[in-house]
């Protein structure tokens, strides 16, 4: 660590300095690269594009350095405060952040890499997409080439690989290939799964070689009961997901995974289930994570019942506020992103 960055670190560690900008990289199927999963909605937060530059160029690009400098100054101009989990709870990080290098220009590649090679998923949740997504044979071939040539080398200094923010990692054929290849090439690498839970069982995790190498698992289930689940998640299987969550719970209780999170994207379809979902998380020794539905391609606004209940202009906004006021948002088993604290408190 340089003298300058040592001083910066000493000075800034007294207050919150988000480690994401210095240790994490998020890669999307179209090649866009970000330093954080929560700031991708900000128009200037993208640090590069793998179709135009190498990862090495992107990781220390002018935009990446500008982002880190801004975070060190405590400004956070390129973040999306409404979406950010970290700033709403300083203790909340999904990975331990030891030995962060606070240099604006990084010597090593990121410690935590999130790669989403495609959008393949066996479900179509209402807030996400109108139909099930599957690659053609040709698209899959191109994707696998990209994984071997571009993505695998990016993991050279990584401690964890997170899959996937745009697909299901156990359904997506390219993501399974990425995980299997990475697990073989980097024996110390650990894995974070963001999954819909339908195929997240021992058989599939064994098949891609990661059952004993999981760090955290986040299951996006969005409801605590089958009726609400079927309103949100199309083509899912609530009973099977619950069984798989029980398996994950057993892994957590035997110390084989560090974290178990149950994700809940709040929309008109499920907001009344929020209190029950916190109990559901507690029963499963998990943490419920709540955030707002974002525009990922689902029909958020044009339907008869707009999903974005968190907008003040939404006819059911006050009902959401009443639900939020009836509960404690931050507990040992629940965490809400900042915009819900704002709705509750204002």
Site residues (CB under 6 A) for ligand SF4?
A: 18, 20-21, 36, 38-39, 76, 79-80, 84, 86-87, 121, 123-125, 128-129, 167-168, 196, 220
Given the complex with ligand SF4, which of 23 and 321 has the nearer CB atom? 23
Nearest alpha carbon to residue 116 among 27, 192, 30, 208: 27
Q: What are phi and psi of 118, to 5 degrees?
A: -155, -170
Shortest Å distance, C-beta 312 to ligand SF4: 22
Instruction: Give me the least distance between CB of 3 and ligand SF4, in Å please.
Output: 25
Distance of closest approach, residue 325 Cβ to ligand SF4, in angstroms: 25
Minimum CB distance to ligand SF4, residue 20 (Å): 4
Per DSSP, the three-state class of 317 is helix
In the complex, what is the shortest distance from the CB of residue 236 to ligand SF4, in angstroms, rounded to a whole number?
Answer: 8
Contact in structure between 127 and 307 (CB atoms under 8 Å): yes
In the bound state with ligand SF4, the residue whose beta carbon lies nearer, of 88 and 284, is: 88
Look at residue 176 and give its three-state secondary structure: helix
Torsion 213-216-222-227 (CA) sign: positive
Whichever of 113 and 321 has its CB closer to ligand SF4, that residue is 113
122 close to 237: Cβ distance less than 8 angstroms: no
| SS3 state of residue 150 | helix
Least Å distance between CB 302 and ligand SF4? Answer: 18
Secondary structure letter of residue 110 according to DSSP: P
- DSSP E strand stretches across the chain: 24-27, 32-34, 48-49, 112-115, 160-163, 190-195, 214-220, 259-266, 287-292, 334-336
Look at phi and psi of residue 267 and say left if phi exceeds 0, alpha if psi is from -120 to 50, else beta: beta
Q: Whose Cβ is closer to ligand SF4: residue 80's or residue 284's? A: 80
Alpha-carbon dihedral sign for residues 22, 110, 40, 166: negative
Residue closer to ligand SF4 by CB (options 20, 214) is 20
Compute the least distance from the CB of residue 269 to ligand SF4, in Å.
13
Which residue, 11 or 326, has its beta carbon nearer to ligand SF4?
Answer: 11
Output 231 or 319, the one with its CB closest to ligand SF4. 231
Of 176, 117, 108, 125, the residue nearest 149 (C-alpha): 117
- Residue 335: Cβ-neighbour burial (10 angstroms; 0-12, 13-18, 19+): buried
Least distance in Å: CB of 111 to ligand SF4?
15
Minimum CB distance to ligand SF4 smaller for 112 or for 251: 112
Quote the least distance from Cβ 79 to ligand SF4, whole Å: 3
Tokens at residue 213, please? 């190498």
- Environment class of 247 (CB within 10 Å of its CB; exposed 0-12, middle 13-18, buried 19+): middle
Measured distance CA(277)–CA(280) in Å, rounded: 5
Q: Are 160 and 190 in contact (CB under 8 A)?
A: yes
- Of residues 233 and 321, the one with the C-beta less far from ligand SF4: 233
């Amino acid at each position: 660590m340089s003298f300058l960055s040592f001083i910066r670190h000493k000075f800034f560690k007294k207050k919150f300095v988000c480690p994401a900008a210095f240790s994490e990289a998020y890669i999307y199927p179209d090649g866009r690269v970000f330093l954080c999963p929560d700031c991708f909605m900000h128009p200037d937060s993208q640090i590069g594009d793998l179709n135009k530059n190498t990862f090495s160029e992107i990781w220390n690009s002018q935009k990446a350095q500008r982002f880190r400098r801004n975070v060190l100054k405590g400004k956070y101009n390129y973040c999306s405060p409404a979406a950010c989990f970290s700033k709403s709870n300083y203790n909340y990080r999904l990975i331990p952040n030891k030995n962060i290098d606070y240099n604006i220009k990084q010597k090593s590649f990121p410690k935590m890499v999130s790669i989403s090679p495609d959008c393949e998923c066996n479900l179509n949740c209402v807030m996400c997409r109108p139909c099930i997504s599957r690659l053609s044979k040709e698209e899959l071939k191109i994707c696998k080439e990209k994984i071997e040539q571009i993505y695998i080398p990016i993991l050279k200094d990584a401690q964890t690989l997170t899959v996937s923010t745009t697909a299901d990692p156990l359904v997506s054929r390219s993501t399974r290939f990425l995980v299997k290849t990475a697990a073989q090439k980097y024996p110390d690498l650990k894995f974070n799964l963001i999954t819909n839970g339908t195929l997240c069982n021992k058989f599939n995790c064994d098949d891609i070689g990661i059952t004993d190498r999981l760090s955290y698992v986040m299951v996006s289930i969005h409801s605590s009961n089958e009726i609400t689940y079927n309103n949100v998640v199309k083509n899912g299987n609530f009973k099977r997901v619950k069984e798989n969550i029980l398996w994950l719970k057993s892994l957590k209780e035997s110390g084989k995974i560090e974290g178990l999170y149950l994700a809940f994207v709040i929309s008109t379809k499920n907001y009344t289930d929020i209190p029950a979902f916190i109990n559901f998380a507690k029963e499963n020794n998990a943490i419920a994570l709540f955030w707002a539905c974002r525009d990922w391609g689902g029909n958020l606004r044009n339907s008869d019942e707009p999903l974005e209940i968190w907008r003040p202009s939404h006819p059911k906004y006050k009902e959401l506020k009443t639900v939020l006021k009836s509960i404690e948002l931050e507990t040992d088993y629940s965490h809400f992103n900042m915009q819900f604290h704002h709705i509750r408190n204002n």
